[in-house]
Structure 1
Amino acid sequence: MSDTAGTPDYDDAAVARLRGFVEEIAGGRIVRMERQVRWRPAWFVDVERADGTPLHLHLRGDRSGDVAIFPELKREADIQRILADHGIPVPKVHGFCADPPCTVMDAIGGTRDFSGLDRAEKSAVGRSFMQAVAAMHALPTAPFEAVGVERPEGAEAIALVGLEAYLPHYRRTKSRPEPLLEFVIGWLRRNVPTHRTAATYIQFDSGQFLVEDGKMTGLYDFEFSMIGDPMTDIATIGMRDSYEPLGAPLAELVRYYEEASGEPVDHQAILFHVLQFSTLGTMQFTGTVGAPKPGDPHAVYLQFDLALRRSIVLALSALSGVALPDLPPLPEQPGGNSPLIAKLVDTLAGVRPLEPIDAAQKVQATELAEWISRIDRHGAVVSAADSADVVAYLGEDADDWPAALEARVLAAGPAEDAALIRLLAAIEGRRLQMFGPTAIGAAAMAVVLPKTR
């Protein structure tokens, strides 16, 4: 079973049990079972039923590593059933396997590639998607509460429902000082949009749907569903649009949402939730980013971490009105371990993967080697500049500047906000300079604030 401190085992014996479960509930025989290459166990399965008709399924297993906010995978399956019962276009859930944890659902057709669609088709897809989002927000919350989704009361609880959900995981898994995250946690609490008092069902990580033949086929991924401010979903849609385009321009999608919901969006609240969601995503992975665990897809988590921190800095600057500092470029210099790292890359190039999952592992290893190369070339310069900035701010030497800065953040009042924002932005800016030119850093370099109008 899944829990917050361990990882479900999807070994051959577990997969055999899963196959038996699928064949039993589907009433047929599995004729194809293909592992999806991603950071969580998942499969595409074709079943031939007793009457000869085919059934195309998707099996969604539990995340690996200690990164789960809601550790029970069945929670998502229950939520997905409620959405389907209320006419939301989501995959039908056929059953839930307890051991190993896995949701058995329809495999919806389609892709995230919009390149073959013309302008009118992209607009039609965007309208369908935003109509579905508005329909989710209009659902009664009682069925979700009945399966354990907490309903917040009052503007502060509604605004910060995500923060309160993520904090226990963050506090338990935190592996290093986090001055940026601790600052933003305090800033969010002091700057709640108090006029937002209506709570609805929210997908929370919205913007995930597939398209086929110029039409939306369905929404997916409800792992982080909550009850909270509906502007959270508009914020996450906008964030996803910066690196995974959603077809129609974001401002157009927002207009479709306003038409479907009958309510204008709150652009300032959206920006607040961009900041919060970026912070929560960073909180979710920072423990394993700081202290990598065996088996974790570390390159993926580094990508998330770098891109989300860039989003934090941009949103914090926009909300506070504090301009980001101009940083000089990093000096170009060879690293002391360049020959050894080059040999590691050469060795990896000679590895011949046997399976697609092995090829994905090879890609991650090559990306990590490139990341290490940037540390080798620029790490000392960046660390010295960060330390000098922190010491100048604190007015005293600090052997462990991240811990010293975190302590100052926790003790500081709002009067220090502007200075701390500039300092923290400089630290994150140099980190982006160091790692942005890598394959892992490409997503962070593409991050922009959502333009909702």
Structure 2
Amino acid sequence: MSKTDAVISDWITQEVGGRVTSMTRQSRWRPTWFVDVERNGEALGVVVRGERGAGIPMQFPLSHEMALQRVMGAHRIPVPSVYGWIDELPAYVMERVDGQPGFDGLTTDQRDAVMRDYMAALAELHRLPLQPFVDAGVYRASSPAESGRLGMKRFEEVWRAGKNAPNPLLEFVLGWLRRHPVDSRGRESAIVWDSGQLHQKDGRFVALLDLEAGHIGDPMMDLAAPRMRDTVLHFGDFNTLYAEYERAGGYPVDIDAVQLHHIAFTLTNELAFRNSLNDPSPESDYMTNLHWCSETNLHAMEALAERIGLDLEPPDTPDVPPTRAATAHRQLVEMLRDPGSEDEYARYRLRVAFRLARYLQREDEIGAEVTNADLDDLVPLLGHRPGTWQDGDAALERFVLDDDGHHDAQLCQLFYRRLIRHKASLGPPGSAMVAHHVCQPFTPYPPETPQRRSR
């Protein structure tokens, strides 16, 4: 038993009671352990949730997440019950809820029923009094007028504190958001913020999960964040979901604020992971983080283009002959394809290496052409062609910072083209790594009906 396992086992024995019968570290980048406990002749499932690690700082302390979850549970919001805090790790301990995060095996009607209950849970959360959350130390903006910007402020502060390379894309969209701030109209409530994370079991809504970004903010944020997660989980039509939220007693839906929150939220992966991607630690899941950033950065450009009424035009993908290293890359990929280990976490780490090898293989194939195309695209804006991609990023960032919105459409198109090329470099054509899933477009809310149009 490792030292960490011993700390967890001792804490659970003393604070939860019962005997630890098994413990498994979750196969992912964030340290999480699933623990089975026998207590008074009954089986009990426990989750131990640690800090991110891997050189990826958190926007809100882990203890803040636990405090928010505990207050939500005390007010009958369906979240896992909190057992307490393990100082030595640090980590907090909660019950393990049944179910699964997606809707596999459910009919559309069953999915819709789960989502009705989920939207009702959000509406109930948004109606709760603020004082218990304030008393628990949950973060709150300095004034209700700022409630819609607290989450992004925290993400930007953490990114800037560790910024280690030019990032013209982030500077562009963050600058656009500063020029087009969301108006929360004084709305304030406890919010999940990174919403759309839930468990259902057999078509029954079980619990809200993963509250690490939750705080006191604009409730419209909880209606915006699921739009990206919907591209893989498929929650249903969002106007229908918004109507269910209102019907359950939620705030009147402010679709303009929802759209601005959606644009902002598309940046959160880039803000959270880019500094680590520029200087990764050995234990980081490089390709998962890179994939998340590539996908959601594309969502950012598509969301911004939708807002400003711009039709985006994708570039051609390079098609080039094999390089000298192609044979060696192919052998490395095949060596890593089948981990052959019985240890779940070891298999996960080997899978990380396999995906990294496939990325390097593809970068070897088209990387030079992608870089040259990116640099060529800079000439109309900058008036010259930088010599390297590093010089190009630095020059483009300087241009963005000096531009103040004069070339928004041109820059949006430019970044879209760059991101499409980059996406093509993440893996072989047809692989999950290079697939892109477009978010549902915004439509008028409430939806227009013949009766409304005739008035």
TM-score (norm 1): 0.91
Q: Are residue 48 (structure 1) and residue 22 (structure 2) matched?
A: no
The change in CA–CA distance for 1:119 and 1:74 in structure 2 (over 3 A counts) is same
Q: Give a deviation string over 1:262-300, Cα, whole Å, max 9, x none.
A: 543222222211111111221110011122222111111
Equivalent residues of 1:35, 1:41 under 8 A apart: yes
Equivalent residues of 1:156, 1:192 under 8 A apart: no
- Give the 5 Å matches for 1:137-148: 137-148=126-137
**DSSP 3-state at the match of 1:33:** strand
**DSSP 3-state at the match of 1:39:** coil
| Structure 2 residue corresponding to 1:394, chosen from 382, 386, 390 | 382
Runs (5+) with no aligned partner, structure 2? 448-455
Q: Are residue 216 (structure 1) and residue 208 (structure 2) matched?
A: no
Q: Give a deviation string over 1:212-231, Cα, whole Å, max 9, x none.
A: 12211111111111222211
- Give the 5 Å matches for 1:175-194: 175-194=164-183
Residue 154 of structure 1 and its aligned partner are, at CA, apart by 5.2
**DSSP 3-state at the match of 2:267:** helix
Q: Are residue 73 (structure 1) and residue 57 (structure 2) matched?
A: no
**DSSP 3-state at the match of 2:36:** strand
Equivalent residues of 2:266, 2:297 under 8 A apart: yes
Q: Give a deviation string over 1:357-407, Cα, whole Å, max 9, x none.
A: 111112221111111111111111111111111133111343311100101
Equivalent residues of 2:117, 2:205 under 8 A apart: yes
Residue 28 of structure 1 and its aligned partner are, at CA, apart by 1.3
**DSSP 3-state at the match of 1:87:** coil
Q: Quick one: distance in 2 between partners of 1:140 and 1:411?
A: 44
Q: Quick one: distance in 1 between partners of 2:339 and 2:44?
A: 37
**DSSP 3-state at the match of 2:252:** coil
The change in CA–CA distance for 1:116 and 1:348 in structure 2 (over 3 A counts) is closer
1:116 equivalent in structure 2: 105
**Residue identity matched to 1:303:** H
Q: Give a deviation string over 1:284-339, Cα, whole Å, max 9, x none.
A: 10011122222111111111111111111111111122221342232243233211
- Give the 5 Å matches for 1:15-164: 15-49=5-39, 51-70=40-59, 72-153=61-142, 157-164=146-153
Q: Are residue 338 (structure 1) and residue 326 (structure 2) matched?
A: yes
Q: Quick one: distance in 2 between partners of 1:424 and 1:349?
A: 33
Equivalent residues of 2:155, 2:268 under 8 A apart: yes
1:7 equivalent in structure 2: none
| Structure 2 residue corresponding to 1:200, chosen from 169, 185, 189 | 189
Instruction: Let me know the Cα RMSD of the aligned residues.
Output: 2.1
| Structure 2 residue corresponding to 1:448, chosen from 425, 436, 439 | 439
Q: Are residue 371 (structure 1) and residue 359 (structure 2) matched?
A: yes
**Residue identity matched to 1:422:** Q
| Structure 1 residue corresponding to 2:278, chosen from 275, 283, 290 | 290
Q: Quick one: distance in 2 between partners of 1:368 and 1:395?
A: 36
| Structure 2 residue corresponding to 1:314, chosen from 284, 299, 302 | 302
Runs (5+) with no aligned partner, structure 1? 1-10
The change in CA–CA distance for 1:106 and 1:195 in structure 2 (over 3 A counts) is closer
Q: Quick one: distance in 1 between partners of 2:412 and 2:12?
A: 52
Runs (4 or more) in structure 1 with deviation over 6 Å come to: none
| Structure 2 residue corresponding to 1:380, chosen from 368, 376, 390 | 368
Equivalent residues of 1:203, 1:224 under 8 A apart: yes
TM-score (norm 2): 0.91
**Residue identity matched to 2:108:** R
1:420 equivalent in structure 2: 411
Q: Quick one: distance in 2 between partners of 1:350 and 1:134?
A: 46
Q: Are residue 406 (structure 1) and residue 397 (structure 2) matched?
A: yes
**Could you tell which deviates more after superposition, 354-363 or 341-350?**
341-350
Equivalent residues of 1:371, 1:440 under 8 A apart: no
1:259 equivalent in structure 2: 247
**DSSP 3-state at the match of 1:127:** helix
Q: Quick one: distance in 1 between partners of 2:441 and 2:222?
A: 12
1:434 equivalent in structure 2: 425
**Residue identity matched to 1:441:** M
**Could you tell which deviates more after superposition, 218-227 or 259-268?**
259-268
Equivalent residues of 1:236, 1:274 under 8 A apart: yes
**DSSP 3-state at the match of 2:109:** helix
Q: Quick one: distance in 2 between partners of 1:235 and 1:318?
A: 15
2:313 equivalent in structure 1: 325
